[in-house]
């Protein structure tokens, strides 16, 4: 009888361990985060050019991301951009406290022979996206429209 009781106890214990293990797994894969694979620049103010000689050809767009005014990420440059222009964000993620901070995306035109021109900026708070989990989320800043392309 003692053996049976012991078996029953150890079976229960094993079950508890299995359930606890399962909960652990769920937590691990469900880390709350917002992940941006790419952005798509949909429209810009054509009069952004700051250089007196104007821009030759198409702008060379890239994005500079900051969180609470701290530099966070700089994207690759899309040379000779034609709108709508996709720019890789390489799966940029926001987690933890970052979810509630203000994220600013500034779009620049890279210039080899002068300072890069600022095209415009958009802002968002990552947590605002977590309720609806959109695959595409448009952001507006004046004439600028930048769509976030997200993975959940």
Q: Compare residues 18 and 82 and give the one whose CB is closer to Ca ion.
A: 82
**Least distance (Å) from Ca ion to the CB of residue 23?**
52
Strand-strand pairing, 144-151 and 136-141: antiparallel
Judged by CB under 5 A, which stretch of 27-35, 46-54, 67-75, 120-128 contacts Ca ion? 46-54
d(CA 61, CA 52): 19
Q: Does 80 bind Ca ion (CB under 5 A)?
A: no
d(CA 104, CA 122): 6
Task: Calculate the alpha carbon distances from 27 to 21, 99, 135 in Å.
Answer: 10, 18, 23
Q: Does 58 bind Ca ion (CB under 5 A)?
A: no
Select from 34, 41, 44, 60 the one that contacts Ca ion (CB under 5 A): 60
Judged by CB under 5 A, which stretch of 39-47, 60-68, 125-133, 141-149 contacts Ca ion? 60-68
Strand stretches in the chain, DSSP E: 33-43, 61-67, 70-74, 85-95, 103-109, 117-124, 136-141, 144-151
d(CA 67, CA 103): 5
Select from 11, 74, 114, 151 the one that contacts Ca ion (CB under 5 A): 114
**Least distance (Å) from Ca ion to the CB of residue 150?**
28
Q: Does 40 bind Ca ion (CB under 5 A)?
A: no
Binding residues for Ca ion, rule: CB under 5 A, are: 51, 60, 109, 111, 114, 117
């Amino acid at each position: 009888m003692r053996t049976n009781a012991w078996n029953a106890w150890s079976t229960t214990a094993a079950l508890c361990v299995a359930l606890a293990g399962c909960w652990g797994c769920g937590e691990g894969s469900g880390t709350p985060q917002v992940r941006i694979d790419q952005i798509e620049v949909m429209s810009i103010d054509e009069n952004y050019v700051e250089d007196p000689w104007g821009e030759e050809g198409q702008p060379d767009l890239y994005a500079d991301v900051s969180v609470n005014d701290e530099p966070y990420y700089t994207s690759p440059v899309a040379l000779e951009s034609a709108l709508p222009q996709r720019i890789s964000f390489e799966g940029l993620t926001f987690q933890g406290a970052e979810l509630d901070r203000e994220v600013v995306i500034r779009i620049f035109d890279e210039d080899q022979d002068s300072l890069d021109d600022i095209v415009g900026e958009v802002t968002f708070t990552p947590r605002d996206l977590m309720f609806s989990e959109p695959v595409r989320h448009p952001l507006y800043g004046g004439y600028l429209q930048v769509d976030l392309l997200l993975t959940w």
